[in-house]
Structure 1
Amino acid sequence: MLADDVPGSSRETASPDVGPCYQNAFDEIDADPNQFLCVVEDGQQIVGTLQLTFIPGLARNGARRGQIEAVRIASDRRGSKLGEAMFTWAIDECRSRGCSLVQLTTDKARPDAHRFYDRLGFEPTHIGYKLKV
């Protein structure tokens, strides 16, 4: 699902050569108590994923933040309210862990995702920058 859209298809791959890269990343995330990988299954099929990171911070009076990344919904499930249910869960989880802010980044090439986040009440308040190293 990571490669199932235009931006993802150019940076993700299904090549068996990168399998260990994904496994290593999973192992590192799994070992960190401030990380959570959410996987939604319907029977034996994975239909949704997101990564939730809990970030302690100094800004905003020491506010703890929830960072949502790598949101994916299986293409045949988009529009089914699955994403909304996942975000409801993630936001509730952030509240239960003492977060005062939930944030995310989204690729400029995902206008459908932008409409979804707007509908959920997220506001595009910042400009994000990235540097490949």
Structure 2
Amino acid sequence: MPGITVRKARRDDVEAIVRMLIDDQLGATRDSADDLEPYLRAFEAIDGDPQQLLVVATSNDEPVATLQLTIIPGLARQGALRGQIEAVRVRSDHRSAGLGGDLIQWAIDESRRRGCALVQLTSDTSRTAAHRFYERLGFVASHTGFKLHL
């Protein structure tokens, strides 16, 4: 990623991250930058948990992409750790240049460095282009996910 640096997100990155969430077909209906307080509370919880890693890819220290990596311990697979990738977003003016793939590869490498046996992610069923993207990166659509909104 020439000119791009991946680093742990900081509190002052939250607004830029929220704007990337909003600049998305689904996020536009769920997120808003009108009140950053709930996002800042979530950031503090993420930042305080060593099993969570919220990162930004920056250009000139300006966030242009983001993802959250969660390290999940479990008993299955002989006590294997899993890396769970969530909320992958690339700012619209940096899309289609390979940054998303590079950021996912960074998360895979970080998961491996932390001793994970596998990396997993979920993607909304309506995101068919994203599904093709993840398959090109070697991910396999192996499970069906379910959600219950509370």
Asked whether the two chains share a fold, i.e. TM above 0.5, the reply is yes
Q: Which residue of 1 aligns with 2:71?
A: 54
Offset, 1:45: 2.9
Q: Which residue of 2 aligns with 1:131?
A: 148
Contact persistence 1:7–1:109 (CA under 8 A): no
Q: Gaps (5+ residues) in structure 2?
A: 1-19
SS in 1 for 2:22: coil
**1:37 maps to 2:37:** no
| Distance in 1 of aligned mates of 2:31 and 2:130 | 18
CA offsets per residue over residues 8-65 of structure 1, 9 Å max, x none?
111111212xx11000000000000000011011125321000000000011111100
Q: TM-score, normalised by structure 2?
A: 0.84
Contact persistence 1:65–1:100 (CA under 8 A): yes
SS in 2 for 1:6: coil
Residue identity in the other structure for 1:82: L
- Percent identical among aligned pairs is 56
Q: Which residue of 1 aligns with 2:90?
A: 73
CA offsets per residue over residues 45-100 of structure 1, 9 Å max, x none?
32100000000001111110000000000112111111111111110110111100
Give runs of aligned pairs for residues 105-124 of structure 1, distance below 5 A: 105-124=122-141
Q: Which residue of 1 aligns with 2:115?
A: 98
Equivalent pairs, count: 131
Q: Which residue of 1 aligns with 2:26?
A: 7
Q: Which residue of 1 aligns with 2:17?
A: none
